[in-house]
Chain A
């Protein structure tokens, strides 16, 4: 039995749960789209049409990536806290796969469903703004995935914190808003800032939208940096997660909330 079967089973489970929470899912999407509409019409009110035109791609893509990250991160923390509340965390721990792998599979399955929803939302953003971006699917999805991967590392850290300290809603809120400045770091002027995640991916995505740069037309070192960011933050996240998981088991907190 491979992890593929586990992935399929988890994906089925998540779709069933999503269907059960159908109303919540619709409200969540509606809120995110509505928030974008406020952002868009608000910025149209304060900026001249010419200036807005220059930043519209950034607004759409930046918001799109932000929503993707929030969905992934919230999935990690939501999973851990609800599993702990329902006594499921211990059940998930008791698998031959080890909990961090099960969480990775859960995150991957959520990523699939969230990406579908997020793509629909991207269409909604473009429809609201009346600005249709010329996005090529392969380049867009590759950049989207690589930009979001360091977020999985952050997700592991948050999962570990939730396991050890339980109520981490305030930390999650801070992280949520920290992502915005991280996405806007001027990495083209200060390449050293590439130690932080997200900004480079958003830049490349923007370049693709504005200049039509394709996957293979980006310089290889940019791909290398994107990959290095993903590996670095995933490893960091796993390291922190393992420490916090051990601390939680030391204190017998795995089944508590």
Chain B
């Protein structure tokens, strides 16, 4: 598989007193058809990285190749890459969606006849045909769709999306995520995106590059990142005959209590091997505790991210309803014991 984007030793120091080292020795590559996400906290260097790739910022050192050619070859670069950048609404507010797409296609040098075909296609794809109002009169979600459609009107195979769901409400965000996924799966677009929204990255990315303080901390698939921390952790819900049982569990199994409500405890344990689980269950029975549920404590991407970036778990929430604020999606086995 060919690399459409290769970044080697990218380095950016902003001049000033003192100079600010925003990106340090960043290297990665993106294959054709891939969705790669740059994930990191605010100020991590994600936007500087993508803007350096796009040559909107002059890198201090390093090499960037887009479809085999140095990114300093600007006509080549901008025939292959389009971007929707921070703010996400970089469109003409006084033009309608179609008029926006027309001018963006012209900026990209798309021939008029081809432009008409491309514009019709993207107007239909994003459901913008009936929006014959100026962009300033549209909702934020619609404006963001127009910005993405305008970038696509440039007719490039590689798309760079900087925080594509920033500021969108839940419904608009879900729709945007679905559209981006469709762009990769059905339209064959290669996408490099930045985000600090874990659910967006988890839903979209084939590969995640975690950036902190301008450096790449790690890069892997979302599954790979989760597996990094896939220790033998379990979450249990047990009905206790006596709260003192918890002390015994803490002493014997280093069990951590997350919640204790009306004699029912939600606890987490980490076991050295699978066989220990059977011993734990035996122990619970001996202590008179009734096991109500048992699930594997597989960390989600947010937890993996938090452990990488800050070396700690995110605050736990009630496992009965949500896990990290949303329904659990990971491997869950629930059993009831007698």
Residue of A nearest to B96 (CB): A16
Indicate if B102 sits at the interface (CB-CB under 8 A): yes
Given the known interface contacts A91-B107, A94-B56, A249-B56, the answer about A17 and B95 at a Cβ–Cβ threshold of 8 Å is yes
Q: Check B95 against A250 for contact (C-beta < 8 Å).
A: no
Indicate if A9 sits at the interface (CB-CB under 8 A): yes
Extra contacts besides A16-B95, A91-B90, A96-B76 (7): CB < 8 Å: A6-B109, A9-B102, A17-B95, A88-B90, A88-B91, A97-B107, A251-B16
Looking at chain A's contact residues, the main secondary structure is helix
Q: Check A21 against B56 for contact (C-beta < 8 Å).
A: no
Taking a contact as CB atoms closer than 8 A, the residue among A13, A86, A93, A249 that contacts B103 in the complex is A13
Residues of chain A from 65 to 114 with CB closer than 8 A to chain B in the complex: 86-88, 90-98, 102
Taking a contact as CB atoms closer than 8 A, the residue among B16, B48, B78, B86 that contacts A87 in the complex is B86
Q: Check A249 against B57 for contact (C-beta < 8 Å).
A: yes
Q: Check A21 against B94 for contact (C-beta < 8 Å).
A: yes
Q: Check A20 against B109 for contact (C-beta < 8 Å).
A: no
For A1-32 the 0/1 string (1 means CB < 8 A from B) is 10001100110110011001100000000000
Contacts of A98 in B (CB 8 A): 74-75
Q: Check B95 against A13 for contact (C-beta < 8 Å).
A: yes
Tally of contact residues, B, Cβ under 8 A:
42
Contacts of A96 in B (CB 8 A): 74-76, 78-79, 108-109
Indicate if B24 sits at the interface (CB-CB under 8 A): no
Contacts of A212 in B (CB 8 A): none
**14 residue pairs from A and B, CB less than 8 Å apart:** A1-B110, A5-B111, A6-B107, A9-B106, A12-B102, A16-B99, A17-B92, A86-B89, A90-B83, A94-B81, A95-B107, A250-B58, A252-B14, A252-B56
Assembled-state Cα–Cα distance A102/B14 (Å):
27
Taking a contact as CB atoms closer than 8 A, the residue among A10, A87, A97 that contacts B90 in the complex is A87
Contacts of B146 in A (CB 8 A): none
Q: For the complex formed, measure the closest distance between the CB of B99 and the CB atoms of chain A, giving whole angstroms.
A: 6
